[in-house]
Amino acid sequence: MPRALITGITGQDGLYLSELLLSKGYEVHGIVRGQNNPRRAVVRRAVPDVHLHTGDLTDLSSLIRALGASHPDEVYNLGAVSFVAYSWDNARVTTDVTGNGVLNMLEAVRLHCGDDPSRVRFYQASSSEMFGKVQEVPQRETTLLWPRSPYGVAKVYGHYMTINYRESYGMHASSGILFNHESPRRGPEFVTRKVSMSVARIAEGLQDELVMGNLDAQRDWGFAGDYVEGMWRMLQQPRGDDYVLATGETHSIRDLLDVAFAHVGIDDWSGIVRQDPQFMRPAEVDLLIGDAAKARETLGWAPTVSFDRLVRMMVDHDLALLRAAR
């Protein structure tokens, strides 16, 4: 039975990846931080067969202990301060977790592997945010990185450190440069879930206004369930490498609002949505669109859920939650 260790198991991707690996017969271990983390109960409910260990990406010895207790064949480093807007106000903690946390995890794996550094396969959750002020459209593995936020800068550091450990020590280390992926499990601070939850509340008469930031930003949005499949496929390759996962389609926040409101029968949302500077960012990533040709050709990976279907799935989920609560 192969064994996997996941950091960030309490997050959106951690839950989908746990389900995927369990369905493939893996023994799954996860690291949860904090002394009384409320998300531990969420993991227990969603994936009760997962083994949980206490640890933190800023605490190297806790990572070494988790590796010693789980003896994984594969490590998926999904843990991060992942909310871009938050990273400007908390640049230092973002750097410590999202940047230096990668170095800690790589070093823990290297020490754990002893004489055979490729014994444990390593996945790093890199991000399209690294492309920032895009230097090429669409963006691919070789596109020059130009991050626009403390989060993006920290991810660039983790990305290059992963490549460096692969080249310096021969580790089987892969970096997935993933474009935005969403689901009903997305945190409410991210724009897709903020919109799906608000549209559901507006449809149910519980809210009458939606306050947003920049409506002109464009993103390449896919479904998280598809993207964790791509992570797993990367680690099944004979060698570590870097891959972009993306849909190759881009949509604006306005498109997102169009599809979400139309799904509950509202065709004109202009009187409901208001923009407020508090949701604007000091620097914006304007046009993210990914080229996943390498993943398609090497991994046989392709997204299966369209943008419209994804948005409708999220609105339906939030409507069902509200109706169940009533």
Which residues does the annotation mark as catalytic? 127, 129, 151
CB 104 within 8 A of CB 57: yes
213 binds, among ligand GDR, ligand NDP, none (CB under 5 to 8 A by kind): ligand GDR
Residue ranges in 98-137 that form contacts with ligand GDR under rule CB under 6 A: 127-129
Binding of residue 279 to ligand GDR (CB under 6 A): yes
CB 224 within 8 A of CB 185: yes
Q: Which position among 26, 29, 56, 261 is part of the footprint of ligand NDP (CB under 6 A)?
A: 56
# residues contacting ligand NDP (CB under 6 A): 26
Angle, helices 60-70/101-113, rounded to nearest 10 degrees? 40
CB 50 within 8 A of CB 28: yes
Residue 179 DSSP class: P
What is the C-alpha to C-alpha distance for residues 8 and 75, in angstroms, rounded to an integer?
A: 11
Q: Which two tokens stand for residue 247?
A: 């849909």
**What sign has the CA pseudo-torsion 185, 87, 9, 235?**
positive
14 binds, among ligand GDR, ligand NDP, none (CB under 5 to 8 A by kind): ligand NDP
User: How far does the chain reach from its first CA to its final CA, in angstroms?
Assistant: 43
194 binds, among ligand GDR, ligand NDP, none (CB under 5 to 8 A by kind): ligand GDR
Q: Which position among 185, 194, 251, 263 is part of the footprint of ligand GDR (CB under 6 A)?
A: 194
Binding of residue 207 to ligand GDR (CB under 6 A): no
What is the C-alpha to C-alpha distance for residues 245 and 78, in angstroms, rounded to an integer?
A: 15
Q: Which position among 88, 103, 110, 213 is part of the footprint of ligand GDR (CB under 6 A)?
A: 213
Residue ranges in 73-92 that form contacts with ligand NDP under rule CB under 6 A: 78-82
Q: Which CB sits closer to ligand NDP, 170 or 187? A: 187
SS3 114: coil
Q: Give 236's contacts (C-beta < 8 A, 6+ positions apart).
A: none
Binding of residue 82 to ligand GDR (CB under 6 A): yes
Residue 248 DSSP class: S
At CA 17, angle to CA 166 and CA 76, rounded to 5? 20
Stretch near ligand GDR under the rule CB under 6 A, chosen from 17-25, 112-120, 138-146, 279-287? 279-287
Binding of residue 259 to ligand GDR (CB under 6 A): no
Q: Which CB sits closer to ligand NDP, 53 or 121? A: 53
219 binds, among ligand NDP, ligand GDR, none (CB under 5 to 8 A by kind): ligand GDR
What is the C-alpha to C-alpha distance for residues 26 and 9, in angstroms, rounded to an integer?
A: 15
C-alpha neighbours within 13 Å on the C-beta side of residue 107: 12
Binding of residue 303 to ligand NDP (CB under 6 A): no
Residues that bind ligand NDP (CB under 6 A): 7-8, 10-14, 33-34, 37, 39, 56-58, 78-82, 97, 125, 127, 178, 180-181, 187
Residues that bind ligand GDR (CB under 6 A): 82, 84-85, 127-129, 179-180, 189-191, 194, 212-214, 217, 219, 253, 279, 281, 284
